Amino acid sequence: MENASDNRPLSGLVFYFDIEDDVEPLNDKVHELGGIVAPRFFINKITHLVYQRGDHFRLNKVRLDGKISVVGVDYIEACFEEKKRLPESDYKLQPKDEKKKRKRKEKKAENESELKKSKDESNAHSKVEEE
């Protein structure tokens, strides 16, 4: 059991890994930062679900519950690298449809930016011809 006065960055947090890859390196990082890794999934005990191509039913259950932070593996890596607890919202796992919407929005903004740049260049070229 972790010491109650533990001031390490992930102290008091309980992680469950729902990933296909080897979890041992991530376990070590979480433990070094003061967190606990749950060997089994107990929705009322964990604070963070680290998800990567795991059980979709579990992922949806956690999202409906709304009390557990769902993050990707990159959250653990970044916390370990920075040696501090980082905002989960920066590493929040997004549903595929939200990712698609975000990518479409980014692509649209990129296309609009390129179109505006092209128009600006065309206008500049026209002004040069007029002179």
Q: What is the pLDDT of residues 31-79, one digit of tens each?
A: 999 999 999 988 889 999 998 877 788 888 888 878 889 999 999 999 9
Whole-number Å distance between alpha carbons of 104 and 130: 39
C-alpha dihedral over 67, 73, 74, 77, to 10 degrees? Answer: 110
What is the percent of the chain where pLDDT is above 90?
Answer: 38
Whole-number Å distance between alpha carbons of 106 and 91: 18
